[in-house]
Amino acid sequence: MSQPSKQPIVLMYHGIVSEWTALPKTREVGADLYDVPTVHFMEQMEWLKANQYRVKIFEDGMPAPGEHEVVLTFDDGEMNNYDQALPVLKKCGFPAYFFAIAKRVGERGYMGWDELRAMHKAGMAIGSHGFSHEILTNLLDSQVEEELRASKRYLERNLNIPIDAFSVPRGFCNNRIIRMAYDAGYKQVFITDHPRALRIECLSRIAVKPNWSLERFELALIGEVPIMEQIKSWSIRIAKRVFGSNIYDWIRKMLLKI
Ligand SMILES: [Zn+2]
Q: What CATH class does 9-225 carry?
A: alpha beta
Q: pLDDT tens digit string along 138-179?
A: 999 999 999 999 999 999 999 999 999 999 999 899 999 999
- Please list all protein residues whose beta carbon sits less than 5 angstroms from ligand 1, which is an ion: 75-76
DSSP 110-154: B--HHHHHHHHHTTPEEEE--SS---GGGS-HHHHHHHHHHHHHH
Residues with Cβ within 8 Å of 116's Cβ and at least 6 positions away in sequence, in order, are 77, 98, 100, 105, 126, 155, 159
Band of residue 88 on the pLDDT scale cut at 50, 70, 90: very high
Q: What is the pLDDT of residue 230?
A: 80
How remote is the CA of residue 27 from the centroid of ligand 1, in Å? 9
Domain boundaries of the chain, sorted by first residue: 9-225, 226-258
Q: What is the pLDDT of residue 253?
A: 67
How remote is the CA of residue 33 from the centroid of ligand 1, in Å? 12
The C-alpha atoms of residue 42 and residue 185 are separated, in whole angstroms, by 34
How remote is the CA of residue 258 from the centroid of ligand 1, in Å? 22
Q: Are 199 and 178 in contact (CB under 8 A)?
A: no
Q: What is the pLDDT of residue 226?
A: 83
Strand-pair partners of 11 = 72, 206
How remote is the CA of residue 79 from the centroid of ligand 1, in Å? 14
Q: Say how many C-beta atoms besides its own lie within 10 A of residue 162's C-beta.
A: 13
How remote is the CA of residue 50 from the centroid of ligand 1, in Å? 30
